[in-house]
Chain A
Amino acid sequence: MDQLKPMDTTDTLLYLTRRVLQALAVILIVTIVVFCLLHALPGGPARGILGPQATGEQIAAFNHEQGLDRPLPVQYVYYLNTLLHGDLGTSYTLNEAVLRLIEQRLPKTLVLTVLSALVGLLLAVPLGMWQAVRRNKPADYVITTLSFVAYSTPVYFLGLILVLLFTQTLRWFPSQAPQGDTLAQVFADPAALVLPVVTGAASMIAVFSRYMRAATLENLSEDYVRTARAGGSRQGAILFRHVFRNSLTPVIAMLGYYVPVLFGGALVVEQLFNYPGMGLLFWSAAQSSDYPVLLGCVLVISVATVVGTLVADVVQRVVDPRVKGGRA
C-alpha cells in the first residue's frame, strides 16, 4: 500500500459516539440490576428506619408513602423518570436529597482516589521497569514478594497495621483523615491525608508494578530493542525512549478497569480513617437500607467506571497510533 493512512477525525468521532452510547446502555443495565437486587432483599428499609417497635400498620404506611408497595417495574420506571429529571430521590435516614449528599461527598472521595491512583502509578511504573531490568536478581525477588504480600493483604488489615505503626508507635501521622466539609479544609491538613492515601495506593502499587514488569519484559525482548541496540543506542536511552512508552500502553488500558477497585478500596479506607466521603456514605446507607442513597452511590460508581474505561481507551488511542476504530 503506497498511501499513508490518515488518522481520520470522523473515524474518531464515530468511535466516541459509539462508545458513549455503549456506556449509557451499561449504566442503564447496572441500575436495573442493582434496583432489582436491593428490592429483592428481605425486610425492606421500613424496619430499619422505623425501628423494632414499629407496628405493621406503620410499616405499611411507610411502604405506601415511599411507593414500595407497588410492582417492581412500576417502581423502577418511576425511579428512572425522576433520575432523568436530575433527581436521585431523598435519603430515608438523613432527610436530605441524595444529589446534595453526593455533591458534598464525591469531591472528597475523588481527592482520595485520584491521589491514591497517582501515588500508586508514580511508584508502580518505575518500580516495575526497574524490576524488569533487574529481572531474577535479589531486588526483583524482594519487590515481587512484597507485591504479593501487599496484594493479598486485605485493605482494612493493612490500614490497621499502618495506623498502629504510624500513629501509635511512631506517632508520625494522625489516625484520622482530615475532617471538614470543603476541599480547602481537606488540603489544609496534608499530614492527615498521608495514611489514607498510602493505604489506598498499596494494592495499586502491587498490581501495577506487576503489570509494568511484565509489559517491560515483553518489550525488552522485542525486535525493535535489538534494532536500537544495533544502532548504537545505550540501555538507558532504549528504556526511556522506546520501551517505556510501549510498555505503558497496556498499563493505561488496565487503569480504566481499576476504577471500581479504587472505589471499593475507598469504602474501606474512609471507614477506617473516618473520612466523610462516598465510601462512608455508602457504608452507612447499606447498614440502614437507605435505598435512594445506595442507588445513587452505585450509579456514581458505575458512571465513574464507565468513564474510566472510556478515558483509558481514548488515551490509548492517542498514545498508540495503531489503535483504530476497532470493535469495542
Chain B
Amino acid sequence: MMKGLKGLNILEMADLGVTFTTDTGDVPAVRDVSLHVRPGETLALVGESGSGKSTVALAALGLLPGNARASGRVTVDGTDVVAAGEAELARLRGRTASMVFQEPATALDPLTRIGRQIAEVVRNHRPVSRAEAAREAVELLRRVGIPEPERRASAFPFQLSGGQRQRVVIAMAIANSPGLLIADEPTTALDVTVQAEILDLLRELAVDSGTGVLLVTHNMGVVADFADRVAVMLRGEVVETGPVEEVLLRPTHEYTRRLLAAVPRLMLSGEGPPPSGPPEEPAVVRLRDVSVRFGRGRGAVRALEGVSLDVHPGETVGLVGESGSGKSTAARAALGLVVPDDGSVSLFGTDLNRARGRARRALLAGVGLVLQDPVASLDARMSVAECVAEPLRMHRRGMSAAERRERIAEVLELVRLPRELAGRGPRELSGGQRQRVSLARALVLRPRLLVADEPTSALDVSVQRTVLEVIAELQRELGFACLFVSHDLAVVQEFAQRVVVMRAGRIEEQGPTMTTLLRPETEYTRRLIAAVPVPDPVEQRRRRTADRTGATA
C-alpha cells in the first residue's frame, strides 16, 4: 500500500480474510480482499448470495459473529478494526462509521420507542442530556424525511411502514455524522418507489457531509444508480474492481459479464411485437368484479376491489404491483384459496364457488402452483420424488406405483433435474433446484394453468434466469397458461404477453406488456417504471435528471 493514501481513505482493507468455524470444520468465507473507500465516494460491493459481500461489510465494523476469525488489516479512519478490542470498537461504531441493514422490519428493538433508539446512539458518543438527545432525535427524524417527527419519535417500530423504519435506521446511522456509512442491501426488502426514495436520501446525506459509502447489493440497477466504483465478488474474492461505467458497461472478468447478462433489463423504449388481438379461445381463469375483505368492522382491510381479469390458454399474464397491492390475493382468489366477498371466479368455464366436492377437486387439479420460498414450500421430511408425487396421490388415486414412478421421472426430466435427485431431501438441493422441484410438482398433473407467485424472487439472478427459461420453454411445449405474480417489472416485461398493474386492491391498468410498460396510461404506472433503476449508469443518470426536472417542472 502507498503511504500517501492512508490519510485519504476512510476505509481501507488489505488482504482481509474471514474464516467461519463450524461443526464440520473451518469454512473460508472471504479471501485476500483489498479495497478502499474515499470520503464522499460510494463503493458498491456486488455479488450473488454466498459471495461473502455481507461478511466484508460486517468485518469493516468488527460486527462478525462469534464463530468468525478475521485476518489481514481493516482500517477505518486510522483505527485497525481487526486488532481493536470491544471498547475501542464501541467508540468507533456509530460515530466514525455506522451501518444500515437489509431488514428494517427486524433491525429495530420492537419494545423501544424510535426516538429513544436514536437518542441512545447520540448519547453513546456525546455527553448530552437526555432531553437534548431527544431533541436531536426529532431533528434527525425530520432530516430523514419522517413526517411529523415530534409525534413519530414516540412511535414503536411496528407502527411504521417498512420504508419509514429504514429511515429510522438511517437516522441512527447518521446521528453522529460518521465519515463512513456501510449499507448492506439497504433497499432489498423495500418496494421500488420506496427504494428510489431511500437511495435519494442516502445520496443526499453522502453528498452533504462528504461521507464515504460502502454499498453492499446484488441489484445492478441500484449500483448503476448510486455507486462511483464497483467491486465484484465471487466465492469470497474480489474478481474485478473499477469505476462504475467501466465495470457495468465494459466488464473485463468473465464472471461479471455472465452476471450482467443474466440481469433482466427493463426496456424503456422501442417496439414490441404487435399486440395480437384477443385470443379466440375462452379464458382458463376469469375473475369478474372480485372483491375480498379481510377482517370485520372498522378494522377490515379491503384486499381486492372490483378486480376483473382473464388468462387465456397459452399466454402468460404478469400481475405486478407493490407490496399490499393485492396481487397475491388475486392469485389466491383464482386458486379458490380465498373466497371472494363479491364477484365471481371461474376456472375453465366453471364457477369455482358453485363447484363442490369432486367437481371442485377436478377443477383445481387443472391448476399448478409455484410459490416464492422454495425452502418453505417443500416438506423437508419428504424426498423430492414424494414431493412431486403428492398431487398424483391426491388426484390420480387409480394410478399404480409403477405408473407414478414413471410420471415422476418424466416430470423431473422436463424441469431438467437429474434423475438421481429423486431420492434426496429438499435440503440437499440448491435454491434453483428446489424451485424446479416445485415446478415439477406443479406440472405433474399436466395443468392447463400455472400460477406462479414471485417464483424467482428468492433466487440469484443467474439462477432466476434458468428457472424462468425452463418455465417459458415448458409453456411453449405444453401450452399451459400462466398467471405470473411479480414485483419485478423487468422480469414480467420479458416473460409475459399481457400485464395487469395493481395498486391498493384495484387494477390500475392492464394491456399488452409492450404497450403498458412502454407507454403507460396512468401516472402510477409511470412512477412505478421510473422508480426501477436500470443497470446502465449513463442511462440511469439521464433518467434520474429527467425525473428531477420533470418533477419540478
A85 within 8 A of B: no
Interface size class of B (residues with CB under 8 A): 35 or more
Give Cα A227–Cα B175 distance, bound, in whole angstroms. Answer: 13
A129 to chain B, nearest CB (A): 16
| A230 x B151 contact (CB < 8 A) | no
Q: Mark A158-175, 1 if CB is under 8 A from B, else 0.
A: 000000000000000000
Within 8 A of B (CB), among A304-328: 319-322
| A229 x B63 contact (CB < 8 A) | yes
| A233 x B124 contact (CB < 8 A) | yes
| B112 x A242 contact (CB < 8 A) | yes
The chain B residue with its CB closest to the CB of A242 is B109
Q: Which of B147, B158, B169 contacts A321 (CB 8 A)?
A: B158
| B151 x A4 contact (CB < 8 A) | yes
Give Cα A230–Cα B176 distance, bound, in whole angstroms. Answer: 12
The chain A residue with its CB closest to the CB of B92 is A232
A228 within 8 A of B: yes
| B121 x A231 contact (CB < 8 A) | yes
B466 within 8 A of A: no
Give Cα A165–Cα B349 distance, bound, in whole angstroms. Answer: 83
- Complex interface: chain A residues within 8 A of B155 (CB): 4
Give Cα A45–Cα B152 distance, bound, in whole angstroms. Answer: 66
Q: Mark A1-26, 1 if CB is under 8 A from B, else 0.
A: 11011000000000000000000000
Q: Given A223-B103, A242-B109, A246-B111, are A230 and B120 also a contact pair (CB < 8 Å)?
A: no
B254 within 8 A of A: no
A226 within 8 A of B: yes
Q: Given A4-B151, A4-B152, are A229 and B101 also a contact pair (CB < 8 Å)?
A: no
| B110 x A230 contact (CB < 8 A) | no
- Complex interface: chain A residues within 8 A of B111 (CB): 242, 245-246, 249, 319-321
Which of A5, A224, A321 has the most chain B CB atoms closer than 10 A to its own CB?
A224
Give Cα A223–Cα B107 distance, bound, in whole angstroms. Answer: 5
B159 within 8 A of A: yes
The chain A residue with its CB closest to the CB of B87 is A234
A70 within 8 A of B: no
- Number of A-B residue pairs, CB cutoff 8 Å, is 92
B61 within 8 A of A: yes
A247 to chain B, nearest CB (A): 10
| B161 x A2 contact (CB < 8 A) | yes
| B125 x A232 contact (CB < 8 A) | yes
- Complex interface: chain B residues within 8 A of A226 (CB): 63, 101, 107
A290 to chain B, nearest CB (A): 48
Q: Which of A230, A245, A246, A319 contacts B94 (CB 8 A)?
A: A230
| B120 x A241 contact (CB < 8 A) | yes
Give Cα A321–Cα B61 distance, bound, in whole angstroms. Answer: 32
| B94 x A224 contact (CB < 8 A) | no
| B112 x A231 contact (CB < 8 A) | no
| B91 x A228 contact (CB < 8 A) | no
- Complex interface: chain B residues within 8 A of A322 (CB): 110, 156, 158
Give Cα A227–Cα B86 distance, bound, in whole angstroms. Answer: 15
B412 to chain A, nearest CB (A): 37
A222 within 8 A of B: yes
A235 within 8 A of B: yes
B95 within 8 A of A: yes
- Complex interface: chain B residues within 8 A of A231 (CB): 93-94, 98, 120-121, 124, 172-173, 175
| B109 x A224 contact (CB < 8 A) | yes
| A1 x B109 contact (CB < 8 A) | no
Give Cα A223–Cα B93 distance, bound, in whole angstroms. Answer: 16
A243 to chain B, nearest CB (A): 9
- Complex interface: chain B residues within 8 A of A235 (CB): 86
| A224 x B159 contact (CB < 8 A) | no
B106 within 8 A of A: yes
B27 within 8 A of A: no
A224 to chain B, nearest CB (A): 4
B471 within 8 A of A: no
- Complex interface: chain B residues within 8 A of A234 (CB): 86-87, 90
Within 8 A of A (CB), among B85-144: 86-87, 90-95, 98-99, 101, 103, 106-112, 117, 120-121, 124-125
Within 8 A of A (CB), among B329-381: none
A225 to chain B, nearest CB (A): 8
Give Cα A1–Cα B158 distance, bound, in whole angstroms. Answer: 11
B interface residues, Cβ below 8 angstroms from A: 61, 63, 86-87, 90-95, 98-99, 101, 103, 106-112, 117, 120-121, 124-125, 147, 151-152, 155-156, 158-159, 161, 169, 172-173, 175
3 tightest Cβ-Cβ pairs between the two chains A and B: A232-B94, A231-B121, A231-B94
A sample of 17 more A-B contacts (CB under 8 A), given A232-B124, A246-B111, is: A4-B151, A223-B101, A227-B108, A228-B117, A230-B93, A231-B94, A231-B98, A231-B120, A231-B124, A231-B172, A232-B91, A232-B125, A235-B86, A241-B112, A242-B109, A320-B111, A321-B111
A-B contact pairs, 8 of them (CB 8 A): A2-B161, A224-B110, A229-B90, A230-B63, A230-B173, A232-B91, A320-B110, A321-B111
